Amino acid sequence: MTAPARRPQVVLFDLFETCLQLEGLRPRIEALGRPGHELELFFARLLHQGMAMTLAGEAPPFATVAADMLRRTCGRDLTDDQVTSVLDGFRELPVHPDVAPALQRLAEAGVPAYGFTHGSAEVAGAALEAGGVRSMLSDVMSCAELKMFKPPPAVYHWACDRIATPPARTALVAVHSWDVHGAVSAGLVGGYCERLEGRIPDAVARPHVTAPALDDVVEGLLALPEEPTP
């Protein structure tokens, strides 16, 4: 059972798919002569490989794993230039339309927001800047500094330590149920946005807040009590 939660003092936002639209990579994959539906397989393999290598002890940089999984998905004979033509798209991913309202609402409530990814903080930050929302985030952090992908507890605790807030007063918002599961299991407040996966799977820890859009998730987080319910 998920423990009762208090209103968070800080909110972490997952970036790829939660804030940034991977759809921006589809035309780049199609430009290789590959079917656009390989985008989803590529990204799923990227996450799987990164998580597996984290479990083994240490994960290479996100871009290294991404290049390997792009070749596995779209052709082992891809040239370095072709791989770069796709991966460069990560810094140009469009921002989902519910991101700015969510961040604005947190700003109005005086609650700092941070981007939190296992990709490159610089690359993700460039996409957020182009989308006009980077200035609404206090910082963009990446657990690549730990040579890890989410969701081990250590990555969430590292983020909390870096911003000096206790896990119980720090929320993680994501469209990935596994990411929210990781955060809740690490003692954070979980905010799940249904935009990508829909209904929360039965096998994961219950989020404290579930809603269809990011701004609705934020409203739910802000509505949590200042003190935990008995």
pLDDT at 31 over 70: yes
Q: Does residue 211 sit in the same domain as residue 167?
A: yes
63 and 102 housed in the same domain: no
104 domain residue, yes or no: yes
Q: In the sheet where 113-117 sits, what is the strand order?
A: 139-142, 113-117, 10-13, 170-174, 189-193, 209-211
Asked if residue 229 belongs to a domain, the reply is no
Same domain, 63 and 123: no
Question: Is 102 a domain residue?
Answer: yes
Do 87 and 155 fall within a single domain? no
Residue 229: per-residue pLDDT = 53
Contact 153, 125 (CB under 8 A): no
Q: How many domains does the chain have?
A: 2
In a domain, 228, yes or no: no
**Are 181 and 172 in contact, with CB atoms under 8 Å apart?**
no
Q: What is the pLDDT of residue 107?
A: 98
Domain of 88, in residue numbers? 22-92
Write out pLDDT tens, residues 159-208.
999 999 999 999 999 999 999 999 999 999 999 999 999 999 999 999 99
- Whether residues 111 and 14 share a domain: the answer is yes
Q: State the pLDDT at residue 136.
A: 98
Name the average pLDDT for the chain. Answer: 96
Establish if 1 belongs to a structural domain: no
Q: Residue 72 is part of a domain; what is its CATH number?
A: 1.10.150.240
Look at residue 142 in the predicted model and tell me its pLDDT.
97
Query: Rounded to an integer, what distance in angstroms lies between the CA atom of residue 139 and that of residue 122?
Result: 11
Q: pLDDT per residue over 36-94, tens digit each? A: 999 999 999 999 999 999 999 999 999 999 999 999 999 999 999 999 999 999 999 99
Question: Backbone phi, then psi, for 93, in 5-degree steps?
Answer: -65, 135
Q: Which of left, alpha, beta for 96 (phi over 0: left; psi -120 to 50: alpha)?
A: beta
